């Protein structure tokens, strides 16, 4: 598990996740454009992409300085 105390590791992981997210986006677009697409596989790829997006957002929040409201 990544720690908020190690911002460099968080940035590295964030970059890795962003690359994987972009790659999945491209794969989904290519796969969907070449019918007949396997709908189950397409749904799984999209779900993985959403999970990556959530993880990226979580790490970005960890990297942001705490702001008092």
Assess if residue 25 is contained within a domain.
Answer: yes
Q: Which H or E element spans position 58?
A: helix 39-63
**Total domain count, the chain:** 1
Please give the model's pTM, rounded to 2 decimal places.
Answer: 0.78
The model's pLDDT over 19-68, given as tens digits with 9 standing for 90+, comes to 999 999 999 999 888 878 788 999 999 999 999 999 999 999 998 876 65
Which residues in the chain belong to E strands, given as ranges? none
Assess if residue 2 is contained within a domain.
Answer: no
Q: Which domain holds residue 12?
A: 7-63
Query: Which is more confident, 68 or 9?
Result: 9
Q: State the distance between the two ends of the chain, measured CA to CA, in whole angstroms.
A: 28
Distance CA 49, CA 43 (A): 10
């Amino acid at each position: 598990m990544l720690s908020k105390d190690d911002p460099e590791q968080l940035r590295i992981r964030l970059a890795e996740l962003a690359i994987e997210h972009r790659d999945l986006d491209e794969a989904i677009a290519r796969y969907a454009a070449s019918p007949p697409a396997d709908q189950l596989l397409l749904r799984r790829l999209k779900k993985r992409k959403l999970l990556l997006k959530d993880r990226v957002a979580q790490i970005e929040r960890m990297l942001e300085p705490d702001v008092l409201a």
